[in-house]
Structure 1
Amino acid sequence: MGKTERAWQELDLKWKIGQLFVCGFDGLSPSAGIERLIGEYGIGGVVYFRRNLRDAKQAAALSAQLQSLSSVPLLTAIDQEGGMVVRLEEGVAVMPGAMAVGAAGNPELTYEAAFLAGQELRSIGINLNFAPCLDVNNNPENPVIGVRSYGENPEAVAALGVQALRGYQDGGVAAAAKHFPGHGDTTADSHRELPVVPHGRDRLDAVELLPFRAAIAAGVDAIMTAHVVFPAYEPDGTPATLSRRILTGLLRERLAFRGVVVTDCLEMNAIAGTIGVARGAVEAVKGGADLVLVSHRLDRQIAALEAVHEAVLAGEIPLSRIDEAVDRVWRLKEKRGLLRAEAETEAEAESEARRDAAGRPRGAAESAGEAAASRSSAPPASGIPVRTAADDAAARLSEAAVTVVKGEALLPLPREKRVLAVWAEARVGTEVVEAIEQERTLGAALREEGYAVAELRIGLDPTAAEREAVLREAETAETVVFASYDAAFHAGQAALANELCGRPDSAFVLAAVRTPYDLSAVPAAPLYICAYENKPAMMAALAGVLAGRLPAGGVLPVTVGAYPAGRRG
C-alpha cells in the first residue's frame, strides 16, 4: 500500500481535488471539454449516458480513448441498473431491473445475472456501476424510484441487493449502492425538486437503513447519496448529500462504512436549483463525500472544481479532508485493478476463485469481451443473434418475474381470437429513464407466439388521434391487451384503458410494463399481469405467459391495492 500512498501524495492540490470528481460529456468520442477536465484538472472519472454509447465495441473504444488521455487511470462509471435504467443495450445483455428481480425472488439467479453483467461491463472498459438501488419502495406515488427498487420489504431488498452487489464486484466492477439513506418513501423526484422523508429514527433504522447496513457488511465498494432531506438526522433541512451529520455522523461513524461515498449528480434540481452546483460540491466534500458527480455542463463542472479548490485555500475545507477522500478513491482504483500493470489483479483473482468455488467452470460465462465483440459485429450468416450465458440469465430471470395479480383463470389467451395490442411508451426521456423506441414490443412478442395481432402505439397520455385510432381498431378485436406504462400517473392513458375495459364485445387484459400500481387506475380489469419493464427479454416472457407456454411464477414485491406484497397468482 506504500507505493499507492506515495503515488497520490505526489499529486498537487489541484489534481488531488480533481480526483474527487466524476464528470459527464456529450458525444460518442471524447469532447474538448472532457479532454480539458482530464488534462488540466486531473478528474478521477467519467460517467456514461446513452448520448455516449452506441454499442459494446464503440464503448470499449471510447473507454480506451479516455484512459489514454489520463496519466492517472480513470473510473469509468455507468447507471446500468437493468430494466428501465440502462445506458447501453447493443452488444450486452440487458438484465431485468430491480423490481423484476424482486418478483423473481431468486438470490442465486440474482447473483449470476449481476456477475455476468459485471463481466460484460468490465470487458468494455467500464469499472464502476451505479447500482444496485437499495431504496425500499413502500410509497406507490414515488415518481422516480418505483421499479428501480427490489420492493417494499426491507429484508428482501437487503437480501437481493447484497447478491447483486456481490455479483457486480466478483464480475470485476465496483458497485455503488444507492440512494443513501433511502429515496423509496418520497412523492417528489429529486431531479426536479427537493424531497423530504419525515419519519423518525426508529422507523428509518428499521426500513430505510436496513439494506444499507447489509450492503456495508457485505463489503460494498461505494455508496451513493440521496438529495433528500431527513429531518430526523438533519434538523437544519440540509439534504443528505450535503450533510455532515448524515455522511460522516451516520454513514461513517455509526454504520462504520469504510468505502467510497459518491454523490448523486449535483446538477439535479434538488441541488442545482437550491444551493447551486459549485457550492453544493464544497458542502458535499466538507460533509464527507469522496466523489462528486457532475454529469452534464462543462461550466458547472469547472465552477465546482474551482470552488472546492478555493475552499481548501481559504481553510474552509481542511487539506486532511481532501487527502482522506483521495486515499479512498485511490484504494478503490487499486482494488479494481486500475493502478496495476499485471495481467491479473487481486480483484480478478478473487473473481476467478469465487467463480470456481461456486461450481462454475471458467468457460461457463464465456469471455465477456468476446461475447460483447461478437454481438457488436455483424450477425452470423444464419441470421440468428449470438446468444450468451448473460442473455440466458436475463431470459430466465425475466420468465421468473412475470406476475399474474388477478384473473389467472383467464389464461391462456385463445389463439384463434384477433388481438389488439395497445403499446404505451415514453417518448421524452429523463435523466433516469432515457427514452428509446422498443422494436420488440408486446405485440411483436405475441406474434412470435402465433397470435394474429394488430398493434398501435400511444404516448403516455394519448393524443385525440391516437385514442380514436385505438377505439376504431378495437371494434373488430376479440381480445385487447393493453400494455400500460405508468397509467396510474397519466390520466389520459388510464381513461383509454378504462374505456377499452368496459367494451362488452372483447376480452381485456391489462399488462403493466413498468410500475405495478396501474391496477389502481383500471380497477375493473379482469386480468392484470405485471412485467415491471418493457425490455425485449421481458416481453418474450410476458407473451409466453399470456400464451400458456410459460408459468407465471412471479410474486408481487409491493402491495397493489387489495393485493398484498408476496401474492402469487
Structure 2
Amino acid sequence: MSLEEKVGQLFVTWVHGQSANEPNPNNIRDFGVSTAAEVVKKFHVGGVIYFNNATRDNVDTPKQIAALSNGLQKASRIPLAISTDQEMGLVTRIGPPATQFPGNMALGAGRSTKNAEEAARITATELRAMGINQDFAPDADVNSNPANPVIGVRSYSSDPKLAAELVAAQVKGYEQKMFSPNAVAATAKHFPGHGDTKDDSHTSLPVVNRTVEEWRKIDAPPFKAAIRAGVDSIMTAHIQTPKIDPTGEPSTLSHRVVTGLLREELRYDGVIITDALEMAGVRKLHTDAEIPVLALKAGVDQLLMPVDLNLAINSVVAAVRSGELTERRIDQSVFRVLKMKFLRGILSAGPVDENVVVGTKPHLEAAQRIADRTITAVRNDGNVLPFQPKKALVVGTSDVPATALATRLNAAKQVTAVNPTAAQIQAAVNAATDSDAIVVLTNGLTQATRPGQKELLNRLLATGKPVVAVATGVPYDVAHNAPVWLATYSTTGPGIEALAKVLLGQAKPQGKLPVDVPGAYPFGHGLSW
C-alpha cells in the first residue's frame, strides 16, 4: 500500500446519494467528484457512513441499501467498513421494514441482558444483510446528569453496573462469533464518558469535571465491560475533562485520555475512532487541518467525517513526510483497522443479496416481546389503570406515536408540539370535553425550553377527567405532579404497542426506573398490578 492508501484507510466519510454510481451535485461540492463510488476510489477511504437526513440521504429501502453497499464495495480495492448509527430508539437511521427496538434506556428498564443481546443480534443480522458491517453502537455513557441534552435515553442507565451489564450483552449480540456472516463490528461510545454533560458536543465543547477516581467509579465500568466482551471499536467524545487532562484538549485529541486511560489503563488494543470531526466540540481549539494529525498523535486510529476530506488526508500525509508523524505510527492504526475487518469477516465477504428481507415475523415478535418488558408504571393513584375508556383522547407532542396509540385505543387524538402554544393547549382542552379519559404523551416536560408541555398537562389535569401521563423520552418528566405516570423511554412502534397493552390491562407493567428521578423516585422504582 502507498502512503496515501494507508492514510485513506484511516478515514470514514459520508457520501451523497442512494446509488453508488448516480451523479449527485453534493458530491461534487464536498469531494470534487460526482458519484459516491468515485469518492471511494479517489480517497482510498477505509469506511463510509450512511445517513437518512435531508442533506445526506443514503437510505430508502432494504434492497436499495444493499445495492448501494455492493456498489461502494465494488469501487474499493480494500473492502470498506460500511457503518451507520443504528443505536435503536432515539438514534435510528434505518426505519421500518427493518425491525425496530425501543432503545437503550428502555432496555435498562427491562433489566434483561438476554433481551439486550437478542435485540443487538437481530439488529446486526439485518444490518449485515443490507451490506452494513459496522454499527456505531452501543452507547456506553452513564447518564448521571438529568439535564444532559444529547445522551439521555441513548444511555441504558445512571447506574454504572447496570449500564456495564447491558453494554457487554449488546457487544456480544452485535459481534456474535468471529467471522460470523450475520455480525457487525460494535462500537462503544463516547469515551471517556458523555453522560455528565449539560451541553451538546455537536454545537459546543462540553466540560466534565470528573476526577480520575470519579471516572473510574462512574464512567469507566461500561467501557471496561465492552473491552472484556471483545468490542471491535471505541468512539471518543468531544468533551473537556480538566481534572483528567488540564491541557484543555477535547478528549478526542487528548493523549492523556486516549493513550493514557484507554490504551494503557484499560489495556484496549482495538480500533479507536473519533466522533464526527465536523462537530463543534472538536473544532473549537484547532483548525480542520490540525485536527486529524492531533487525533493520531493522541492515539486514535479512525477519523470520522472530517469537514474537508481532501484537506484532512493531505494534512496527515504532509505530517508523515515532514516527520511530525512517523509512517510506523500510521501502520499501527492501519493494522488495527485491517485486523478488525479481517476478524469481522469484512475482508472476505462478497456482495450481499439485493433481494434482502428484513423485519421478518420472528424478528418483529421478538422486538414486541422485548418492548413489553420495558413499560414502567411510576404512579397509579386511585388505581386508574388499567382502564377501558369509551371515549378516550390521546394528546401527544408528535404525530406518529399519538396516531399509533389513538388507533390502538380507538380514541380521538390531538397533536400539539414539544413546546405547545396557547392555541394548541386550548385546542387540546376543548377536545377533552367529550372524553372520559385522557392520555398525555410528554417528551422533555422538565426542560426549561418546553414550558408549554407543563401548562398543557396542568390544564388537562384541571378538567377533572382521569389523566394518564406518559413520559415517552427521558423519565425525568415523572417528577411533575400528576396522579398517574407511566414511562416508555421511546416512541417506536413496539414501545407504543407495549404501552397500549398496559393501559388496557392486556399486559402488566414490568419495567423499573433505570435512573434516579431527583426529588421524586429512586432508581429501581416501578409498580405493577
- Do both proteins adopt the same fold according to a TM-score greater than 0.5, normalized to the shorter chain? yes
Q: 1:412 to 1:447 in 2, by over 3 A?
A: farther
State the distance in 2 between where 1:77 and 1:12 align. Answer: 25
1:403-422 alignment, distance < 5 Å: 403-407=376-380, 410-422=383-395
Deviations 1:161-203 (A, max 9, x none): 1000100001410000000010001111101111111021111
CA contact (8 A) 2:11 2:302 kept: yes
CA contact (8 A) 2:102 2:491 kept: no
Residue aligned with 1:328, SS:
helix
From 351, 369, 373, give the equivalent of 2:356: 373
The answer as to 2:462 corresponding to 1:502 is: yes
The residue number in structure 2 matching 1:177 is: 188
CA contact (8 A) 2:397 2:418 kept: yes
From 109, 120, 129, give the equivalent of 1:123: 129
From 294, 301, 308, give the equivalent of 2:309: 301
The answer as to 2:451 corresponding to 1:491 is: yes
State the distance in 1 between where 2:318 and 2:382 align. Answer: 67
CA contact (8 A) 1:443 1:453 kept: no
The residue number in structure 2 matching 1:280 is: 291
Q: Which amino acid aligns with 1:86?
A: T
Q: Which amino acid aligns with 1:157?
A: A
State the distance in 2 between where 1:409 and 1:167 align. Answer: 42
State the distance in 1 between where 2:492 and 2:161 align. Answer: 27
Q: Which amino acid aligns with 1:202?
A: E
Deviations 1:114-155 (A, max 9, x none): 111111111110000000011001110000000000101101
The residue number in structure 2 matching 1:194 is: 205
Shift of 1:446: 4.6
The answer as to 2:97 corresponding to 1:95 is: no
State the distance in 1 between where 2:120 and 2:146 align. Answer: 27
Q: Which amino acid aligns with 2:235?
A: M
The residue number in structure 2 matching 1:164 is: 170
The residue number in structure 2 matching 1:392 is: 365
The residue number in structure 1 matching 2:42 is: 40
State the distance in 2 between where 1:243 and 1:89 align. Answer: 36
CA contact (8 A) 2:37 2:71 kept: no
Shift of 1:79: 0.5
5+ long unaligned stretches in structure 1 = 1-10, 344-367, 376-385, 426-436
State the distance in 2 between where 1:206 and 1:254 align. Answer: 14
The residue number in structure 2 matching 1:319 is: 327
Deviations 1:79-121 (A, max 9, x none): 1001111000133101221100000011111111111111111
CA contact (8 A) 2:378 2:478 kept: no
CA contact (8 A) 1:56 1:90 kept: no
Q: Which amino acid aligns with 1:247?
A: V
Percent of matched pairs sharing the same residue: 39
**Higher mean displacement: 12-21 or 477-486:** 477-486
The residue number in structure 1 matching 2:152 is: 146
Shift of 1:458: 1.6
State the distance in 1 between where 2:414 and 2:349 align. Answer: 54
CA contact (8 A) 1:77 1:130 kept: yes
The residue number in structure 2 matching 1:356 is: none
Q: Which amino acid aligns with 1:303?
A: L
The answer as to 2:487 corresponding to 1:530 is: yes
State the distance in 2 between where 1:205 and 1:341 align. Answer: 39
The answer as to 2:455 corresponding to 1:444 is: no
Q: Which amino acid aligns with 2:376?
A: T
The answer as to 2:502 corresponding to 1:545 is: yes
The residue number in structure 1 matching 2:51 is: 49
CA contact (8 A) 2:402 2:415 kept: no
CA contact (8 A) 2:210 2:244 kept: no
CA contact (8 A) 2:38 2:75 kept: no
CA contact (8 A) 1:227 1:271 kept: yes
1:426-465 alignment, distance < 5 Å: 438=400, 441-448=401-408, 451-465=409-423
CA contact (8 A) 1:117 1:390 kept: no
The residue number in structure 2 matching 1:212 is: 223
Shift of 1:66: 0.8
Shift of 1:232: 2.5
5+ long unaligned stretches in structure 2 = 177-181
Q: Which amino acid aligns with 2:69?
A: S
From 501, 506, 511, give the equivalent of 1:554: 511
State the distance in 2 between where 1:534 and 1:525 align. Answer: 21
State the distance in 2 between where 1:408 and 1:524 align. Answer: 11
Shift of 1:408: 6.4
1:199-348 alignment, distance < 5 Å: 199-294=210-305, 300-340=308-348
Deviations 1:450-485 (A, max 9, x none): x44111112211234322321221222221111111
The residue number in structure 2 matching 1:518 is: 477
State the distance in 2 between where 1:59 and 1:68 align. Answer: 14
Shift of 1:342: 8.1
State the distance in 1 between where 2:275 and 2:442 align. Answer: 30
The answer as to 2:20 corresponding to 1:12 is: no
Residue aligned with 2:397, SS:
strand
Q: Which amino acid aligns with 1:460?
A: V
Shift of 1:447: 3.4
Q: Which amino acid aligns with 2:420?
A: P
State the distance in 1 between where 2:402 and 2:112 align. Answer: 25
Residue aligned with 2:87, SS:
coil
Q: What TM-score does the superposition give when structure 2 sets the normalisation length?
A: 0.91
Q: Which amino acid aligns with 2:271?
A: V
State the distance in 2 between where 1:107 and 1:256 align. Answer: 25
Shift of 1:45: 0.4
Aligned residues: 503
Q: What TM-score does the superposition give when structure 1 sets the normalisation length?
A: 0.85
Shift of 1:414: 3.3
CA contact (8 A) 2:274 2:303 kept: yes
Q: Which amino acid aligns with 1:476?
A: D
Shift of 1:320: 1.4
Shift of 1:442: 4.2
Shift of 1:212: 0.7
Task: Give the superposed CA RMSD.
Answer: 1.9
1:77-88 alignment, distance < 5 Å: 77-88=83-94
Q: Which amino acid aligns with 2:356?
A: A
State the distance in 2 between where 1:465 and 1:274 align. Answer: 44
CA contact (8 A) 1:442 1:543 kept: no
State the distance in 2 between where 1:278 and 1:515 align. Answer: 38
Residue aligned with 2:481, SS:
coil
The residue number in structure 1 matching 2:179 is: none
CA contact (8 A) 1:133 1:148 kept: yes
**Higher mean displacement: 527-536 or 271-280:** 271-280
State the distance in 1 between where 2:51 and 2:363 align. Answer: 22
Shift of 1:229: 1.0
Q: Which amino acid aligns with 2:344?
A: R
Q: Which amino acid aligns with 2:228?
A: A
Shift of 1:233: 2.1
Residue aligned with 1:422, SS:
strand
Q: Which amino acid aligns with 1:28?
A: Q
CA contact (8 A) 2:15 2:39 kept: no
Residue aligned with 2:289, SS:
helix
State the distance in 1 between where 2:135 and 2:152 align. Answer: 19
Deviations 1:387-412 (A, max 9, x none): 42221221111110000011165343
Residue aligned with 2:277, SS:
coil
